[in-house]
Amino acid sequence: MNLQDIKQRFAIIGNNPLLERAIDVASQVAPTDLNVLINGESGTGKEVFPQIIHQNSARKHGQYIAVNCGAIPEGTIDSELFGHEKGSFTGAHDSRKGYFEVADGGTIFLDEVGELPLTTQARLLRVLETGEYIRVGSSKVQKTDVRVVAATNINFTTAIEKGKFREDLYYRLNTVPIILPPLRERKEDIHLLFRKFASDFAAKYRMPAVKLSIEAQQALINYYWPGNIRQLKNITEQISIIEKERDITLESILNYLPNYTNNKLPAVIGGHHSSLTPGADMSERDLLYKVLFEMKKDLNDLKKVVHNMVNVGGGSVAAMPHDDLQTLDRLYRNGDTYPVITNTNDLKVHNPIIVKENADGFSQPIPVEESLSLQDKEIDMIKKALKKHKGKRKYAAQELGISERTLYRKINEYHIEE
């Protein structure tokens, strides 16, 4: 089944490369029995991908069970997943099969797997490793053959550090990761989704579909969408029902977009960066902050070096203090190409200034204009991080303070060769 067939069968709207990459990974891994972990913010459509995997696997004729781990009380989650024996706890009047027993030969989708209690995580780890489980109140070991697909919107690194999630279980679940992009990273798909929802609600409520003006479309594209596709669908339904006019203007649509701003710079709302929604990884905005701070620090260091060269060393590199030489070496040790300082054989330094000797015998620093493009700085920092960690994206992303997902997207977006 090709990409377009999968989109049509599972009603997936959009042509974003990151979305299509996720669909492609799901279809490629489906024929295997590998465990899959789907990671994405709430409302990004994670529940569709386990169905893609199940329907394209050899288990498609077996049972498919979706379990919302966050909706089951902690006291009964073990019973729901693994079953229980009669009399094993108050209210257990009969024996009961758990989901792992019922879905034998099929697929279980564990949504919000990060909400599982630690004791249940230990039981789940055993099932994944050996296929064995024990009903609550029983001592008999039972076997099951179940494919597990899990999904979450939590940051596993943080959860593991805080002791809320087992690291060994994470690696067992994360055999094949699928990362879904948030709606704000699928700007080209936003209007497509709105039109689809508007058409659906027009048919449901027997009314003409609403249409957006150019300005209203741009407002949707610029909006942050903390609730992702689910929020867009809800807003489309509200507009379809409440608005009397079918042509929606900018003024009308702004009434449905809370905390809207068309400013694309990082904003602070309620004391927190709006990009840091609950459960979300640090995004490209955090990389932008890091770029700006690094630029400021490097600029201050260079100012100090130039000042010392002019006022202390008289423009001679050989006379520069040892600390300044180390500063230049630190700033340009990664092989960046800059005009080379002349008048010295003592040190080979690539730097942002040229020291030129005038006719009167005095040396004069001549500044070389440096690119102030944030995109160039982002590309430079990503290349340096990848080089430092020998192409290992996980550690490069940690060095940059961003998620692997954002780093992967940036590498593709800027066509960075590793």
Architecture of domain 184-273: Orthogonal Bundle (1.10)
**Per-domain residue ranges for the chain?**
3-181, 184-273, 289-367, 373-413
403 forms bridges with which residues in the sheet? none
pLDDT tens per residue, range 54-96: 999 999 999 999 999 999 998 899 999 999 998 888 777 888 8
Give pLDDT, residue 326: 59
The structure's pTM equals: 0.62
Q: Which sign does the torsion angle of CA 135, 139, 142, 148 carry? A: positive
Higher pLDDT, 357 or 218: 218
Contacts of 262 (CB under 8 A, 6+ apart): 218, 219, 222
Polymer length of the chain: 418
Find where tokens 């936003």 sit. Answer: 190
Contact 141, 132 (CB under 8 A): yes
Quickly count helices (H) and strands (E) in the chain: 17, 13
Helix (H, G, I), strand (E, B) or coil at 145: coil
**Range from 147-151, 265-269, 332-336 that averages highest in pLDDT:** 147-151
pLDDT tens per residue, range 371-403: 556 777 788 888 888 888 888 888 888 888 788
What is the mean pLDDT of the segment spanning 217-237?
A: 95
Contact 283, 248 (CB under 8 A): no
248 forms bridges with which residues in the sheet? 212
What is the mean pLDDT of the segment spanning 174-186?
A: 95
Which pLDDT band, with edges at 50, 70 and 90, does 279 fall under?
very low
Which pLDDT band, with edges at 50, 70 and 90, does 221 fall under?
very high
3-181 against 184-273: fold identical: no
Give the integer Cα–Cα distance in Å for 85 and 232: 45
Find where tokens 């330094």 sit. Answer: 349
pLDDT tens per residue, range 357-368: 445 544 455 454
Contact 149, 109 (CB under 8 A): yes
Torsional class of 29: left (φ above 0), alpha (ψ -120 to 50), beta (otherwise) = alpha
Please give the full DSSP string across 264-285, using - where no structure is assigned: -S--EETTEETT--TTPPP-HH
Residue 353, pLDDT > 80, answer no
- Looking at 1.10.10, 2.60.120, 1.10.12, 2.30.29, the CATH number of the domain 373-413 comes to 1.10.10
Please give the full DSSP string across 307-373, using - where no structure is assigned: HHHHHTSTT-STTS-HHHHHHHHHHTTT----PBP-S-SS---B-SEEEEE-TTS-EEEEE------
- What is the CATH T-level fold of the domain 3-181, as seen in this structure? Rossmann fold (3.40.50)
pLDDT tens per residue, range 27-40: 999 999 999 999 99
Q: Which sign does the torsion angle of CA 119, 121, 122, 128 carry? A: positive
